[in-house]
Amino acid sequence: MSTLIRAAFSAFRVSMRLRVVSPYAYLNWLVFPLLFTTVGLYVLSRPGAPVSHLAYGVLGGGLIGYWTVAYLDGGNGIQDERWNGTLEQIFAVPTPLVVILFGKVTGSLLFGILSFIPTVALAYFGFHALLPHVDALRFAISLGVLSFSFFAIALTLTPLFALWRWAFQMLNGFELGVYVLCGFMFPVAIIAPWAQGIADTLAPTWAIRAIYAATTTEGAHDYFTWWLAAIALSLGYLVGAYFLYRLVEKHARMSGDLALA
């Protein structure tokens, strides 16, 4: 067990070092969130806007940055190895692939959560905007649940992106659609009912609902149900991921064509 932990930590450390020197990492955790926060706050803090809108402006950019790093950086855990020419070595080592990816995805999430620092700072110093009310405990738990859902999604996307490159292209093109469905910058309740049905199948939607509920005294505060929905859906993704990893292993070890995909 300690060997596996050490291997996961090594993967975490190496991936963090690579991230620190990658300009793309800064684009995702720093630049994009700041740009979206700026647009969000300009639009949401119009004269006469309700105070509850501010929470979406203050936190929305950070959530976008967190998600972007999770799915781009975490989700490309195997793809990166392919580009770097280290895919075969990763499969040849005795450590299970999922342990290495655990370390890498954890690194992505840690990097991604940093997005909240510049966005909250911009909101405060640039727009004098603060969260109107924060229920610290429930906010922290909701953020933890969101992190777990991002972790599960990143771990599921990793084999998916490796097996089918077009899956990454499609998700990348649909990126702003995810912002809509998960309610990063406005409540999902305002979108079309059929789209809300799709949104309900996404774990982050429930966790984000809980996060925003913790910043206001208005509306429903059904935290327990929302956390449970987010965790249950995330576990469902992980079950799917198990089968995808089996498929990846098959392509890498039996047919040997994963590096060519």
**Residue with Cβ nearer another protein (68 or 147):** 68
Letters for 8-27 (x = contact with another protein by CB under 8 A, - = none) are: ---------------xx--x
d(CA 261, CA 245): 15
21 by Cβ neighbours in 10 Å (0-12 / 13-18 / 19+) ranks as exposed
Which amino acid makes up residue 129? A
- Positions 48 through 87 that interact with another protein (CB under 8 A): 49, 53, 56
CB-wise, 65 or 103, nearer to another protein? 65
Q: Does 185 bind another protein (CB under 8 A)?
A: yes
Residue 124 contacts another protein per CB under 8 A:
no
The answer to whether residue 209 forms part of the interface with another protein (CB under 8 A) is no
Rounded to a whole number of angstroms, the minimum distance from the CB of residue 30 to another protein is 11
Interface size with another protein, residues (CB under 8 A): 33
* Alpha carbon separation from 161 to 74, 108, 145, 189, 222 (Å, rounded): 11, 16, 24, 31, 35
Binding residue for another protein, selected from 187, 219, 240, 256, defined by CB under 8 A:
187
Q: Whole-angstrom Cα distance, residue 166 to residue 40?
A: 30
Q: With contact defined as beta carbons under 8 Å apart, do 216 and 132 qualify?
A: yes
Q: What are phi and psi of 244, to 5 degrees?
A: -65, -40
163 touching another protein, by CB under 8 A: no
Query: Which residue from 88, 175, 222, 249 is in contact with another protein, where contact means CB under 8 A?
Result: 175
User: How many whole angstroms separate alpha carbon 154 and alpha carbon 122?
Assistant: 28
Task: Tell the smallest beta-carbon distance from residue 260 to another protein (Å).
Answer: 18
Q: Among 121, 176, 228, 239, which residue sits at the site for another protein (rule: CB under 8 A)? A: 176
Q: Shortest approach of another protein to residue 218 CB, angstroms?
A: 15
Give min distance, CB of 46 to another protein, in A.
6
Residue 214's H or E segment, with its range, is none
The vertex-203 CA angle with 68 and 61, nearest 5°, equals 35
Residue with tokens 């895919």: 87
Residues in contact with another protein by CB under 8 A are: 23-24, 27, 31-32, 35-36, 38-40, 42-44, 46, 49, 53, 56, 166, 169-170, 172-177, 179-180, 185-187, 190-191
